[in-house]
């Protein structure tokens, strides 16, 4: 588990521990449904706030926060509860996780070529 810097308040308790995982096809479809339900499908005309909600729809599909049910982690909840510092940290952890997985796959492929 990773730890948020400022945490997220839910039910009068600040939660710090989170984990990230790759965006699956199912997660991407779920994010797209959420985006459609929010009426945010016309990307070219979105305000800055609406663009963040789109990003958070995908982010919500790639993370868990200990003590907060997954169905609570909606784009709107994250938009109102997540600090900028923690948003950046979560995205960094996702990027690190992706790089580790890609590197592991590349190493495995190069070892099998021997």
Q: What is the pLDDT of residues 66-96, one digit of tens each?
A: 999 999 999 999 999 999 999 999 999 999 9
Q: Report the percent of the chain where pLDDT is more than 90.
A: 84
Write down the pTM of the prediction.
0.88
- Rounded Cα gap, residues 111 and 49, in angstroms: 46
- Rounded Cα gap, residues 90 and 57, in angstroms: 14
Mean pLDDT of the chain: 93
Range of the domain at 56: 2-112
- Rounded Cα gap, residues 60 and 66, in angstroms: 13
User: Could you give the number of structural domains in the chain?
Assistant: 1
């Amino acid at each position: 588990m990773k730890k948020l810097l400022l945490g997220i308040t839910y039910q009068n308790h600040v939660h710090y521990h989170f984990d990230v995982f790759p965006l699956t096809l199912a997660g991407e479809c779920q994010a797209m449904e959420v985006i459609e339900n929010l009426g945010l499908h016309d990307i070219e005309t979105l305000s800055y706030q609406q663009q963040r909600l789109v990003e958070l729809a995908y982010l919500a599909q790639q993370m868990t926060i200990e003590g907060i049910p997954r169905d609570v982690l909606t784009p709107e909840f994250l938009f109102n509860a997540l600090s900028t510092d923690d948003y950046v940290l979560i995205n960094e952890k996702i990027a690190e996780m992706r790089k580790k997985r890609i590197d592991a796959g590349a190493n495995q492929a190069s070892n099998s070529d021997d």
